[in-house]
Chain A
């Protein structure tokens, strides 16, 4: 990067040097940003065009022939996105270091410390939420992948009505968390819900699915699996279709049983599909906020089901502890990053970006 600036400077030096002598007072301002407009302001149009082409060719040499011309297409959206995503994350980090709370209009940035993070570590509610988040992420991701894989294998066995089955399995995915939360609230209803009448037929229950602290998290994970296993199925199906038929045939010739064939030959080849589906599912899991919010119609999820996503929003928007909420958000962001970072590097290595 430094090398790039040096070369850029070398290319533009002649003309900017001239101007510096003419108006020494402005030299500092112009040295970094005003170079191009300087030329325009000057009497000669010729050096200006010369300068622009030189910068352009220097950039092209550095970044490739279409860099300048293509930047019109991707740079403005990239900057907008960068501002809203990375700008906001950095801003959030700053806010988390302040003591911003209640009805103050803006955070006071003069006194930054890690008080909010130490407060989080001392807050048992935060620890519980963090543990719940981890349980949710792992159980939900693993469970959804397993169900999706089984469904994909079954559907891939050349069945009839394949499209119908696939459409049905993927249907819940098109629904909003807000909508599916209503369905599951009804299913888990203590007196009239399906869940209790179903286990009632084998003589169990009734169970207070959403009221029992030890069960509620798993009940929610089950509902989320219902919603997203169709997604895992679609990803696995694409992976299965990419495996050449010879691999199946070779395994058959070797006399492997169907189960063995899948376990030894097919599933190892689905590594790529598993990784990308797992990453997406974990992110969905972190967004389970919508589901939990709609389940109770408020910021406070059922006891035992609080996750970082809900705690963050509750601290910030219900309790008005803005800085504390931001600190929790940063922890959540760190968790997401520890999943996404390696994934992106992996995709880059596979030349898949």
Chain B
């Protein structure tokens, strides 16, 4: 036994070396250039993020004395900024989750149902195209064009604060009405993109099974529940991830619906936008720490589900 071990080891090394040599032989100048360019590009995308990360751990003097992308020395290292950022932003994180999660789940389901109704059943194509055009155009409209009416709607027309008075009676701050308004708003404006994503998926679905089910007399509802929904899993992953990122990251709606960062219902982006600015100047370390803390959920989603995210944005 003791004999064979070194031999296999040595053999493996030999082949690896040979393989490596062959590879180097094949490597042309062009290839080397290619990898250099790709790596430089990767550095270009990473440096802003990396320098933000190292800066968030620096003391005030370290920020001035060290290069922006260099890690802090042992004397310039501090976790104080992270502690402050977490202190300030934690409630915002909770608030953001409170509307981002329901809004994501609801809009994904609604999008799936809408896309199903517009893809699988047979009805006149030209009418379908009209409905689809109106829906898809909804993805692209600048939200500025609906802001003032939206404010009017929530503040003057839909008196949710009064309707939900029994909730505030339980001791919940009535600013949280903003969270409910945000859920409804994000669902309404999320329907177009969710529908489009599901539709691209349902279009590729084999219709043999669905057609035979229809011939057997299955209703559309049954076809959806038994065939289409169980097969929608992969697309649900894509849509949920895409929607969650979009809703979590959105500032505009939170700004006009919740409006003040001091509100107990303020989402994390709203607090972050005003973090680290004071009369004495800007506290960059605090800003960076806050930015990273607020980005944690979307970063986690991206790192674990990068493929689905790429698929979502490509559609």
Q: Please give the residue numbers on chain A whose beta carbons come within 8 Å of chain B beta carbons, in ascending order.
A: 62-67, 69-75, 77-78, 80-89, 91-92, 95, 105-107, 151, 154-155, 157, 159, 165-187, 189, 191-194, 197, 226, 230-231, 234-235, 238, 279-280, 283, 286-287, 289-290, 293-294, 297, 308-309, 312-313, 316-317, 322, 325-326, 328-330, 332-333, 336-337, 339-341, 344, 347-348, 353
Interface 9-mer from B8-16, B117-125, B161-169? B117-125
Residue of B47, B138, B250, B273 most packed against chain A (CB within 10 A): B273
State the Cβ distance, B266 to closest chain A Cβ, in Å.
13
Question: Of all chain A residues, which has the CB nearest B148?
Answer: A326
| B129 CB contacts on chain A under 8 angstroms | 348, 353
Verify A168–B133 contact, CB threshold 8 A. no
Q: Is B233 an interface residue (CB 8 A)?
A: no
Q: Is B252 an interface residue (CB 8 A)?
A: yes
CB < 8 Å: which of A84, A87, A177, A279 contacts B249?
A: A177
Range of interface residues on B (Cβ < 8 Å):
35 or more
Given known pairs A178-B249, A182-B288, the reply for A80 and B191 (CB within 8 Å) is: yes
Verify A69–B148 contact, CB threshold 8 A. no
Can you name 10 A-B pairs with beta carbons within 8 Å?
Answer: A92-B148, A154-B34, A167-B306, A169-B45, A170-B306, A172-B48, A178-B251, A182-B290, A286-B142, A308-B144
Contact bitstring B134-171, A, C-beta under 8 A = 1, else 0? 11111111111111111011001000000000000000
Q: Is B95 an interface residue (CB 8 A)?
A: no
> Apart from A95-B148, A344-B137, what 8 extra A-B contacts exist at CB < 8 Å?
A64-B123, A74-B117, A175-B49, A176-B249, A176-B298, A178-B251, A182-B52, A230-B45
State the Cβ distance, B63 to closest chain A Cβ, in Å.
6
Q: Is B232 an interface residue (CB 8 A)?
A: no
| B290 CB contacts on chain A under 8 angstroms | 182
Verify B145–A333 contact, CB threshold 8 A. yes
Given known pairs A64-B123, A286-B142, A290-B251, the reply for A186 and B34 (CB within 8 Å) is: no
| A174 CB contacts on chain B under 8 angstroms | 245, 298-299, 301-302, 309
Q: Is B209 an interface residue (CB 8 A)?
A: no
Q: Please give the residue numbers on chain B whose beta carbons come within 8 Å of chain A beta carbons, in ascending order.
A: 34-35, 37-38, 41-42, 44-49, 51-52, 55, 63-64, 67-69, 110-111, 113-114, 116-118, 120-124, 127, 129, 131-150, 152-153, 156, 185, 187-189, 191-192, 195, 219-221, 224, 245, 248-252, 255-256, 259, 269, 272-277, 282, 284, 287-288, 290-292, 294-295, 298-299, 301-302, 306, 309-310, 313-314
Q: Is the interface of B mostly helix, strand, loop or mixed?
A: helix
Verify B219–A92 contact, CB threshold 8 A. no
CB < 8 Å: which of A77, A89, A155, A341 contacts B191?
A: A77
Closest 4 CB pairs of A and B: A73-B117, A64-B123, A74-B117, A66-B121
Q: Is the interface of A mostly helix, strand, loop or mixed?
A: helix
Considering the chains assembled together, what is the distance between the CA atoms of A92 and B148 in angstroms?
Answer: 7
Verify A192–B142 contact, CB threshold 8 A. no
Verify A78–B135 contact, CB threshold 8 A. yes
Given known pairs A293-B251, A353-B132, the reply for A226 and B44 (CB within 8 Å) is: yes
Residue of A70, A155, A192 most packed against chain B (CB within 10 A): A70
Residue of B139, B282, B287 most packed against chain A (CB within 10 A): B287
Verify B220–A77 contact, CB threshold 8 A. no
State the Cβ distance, B251 to closest chain A Cβ, in Å.
4
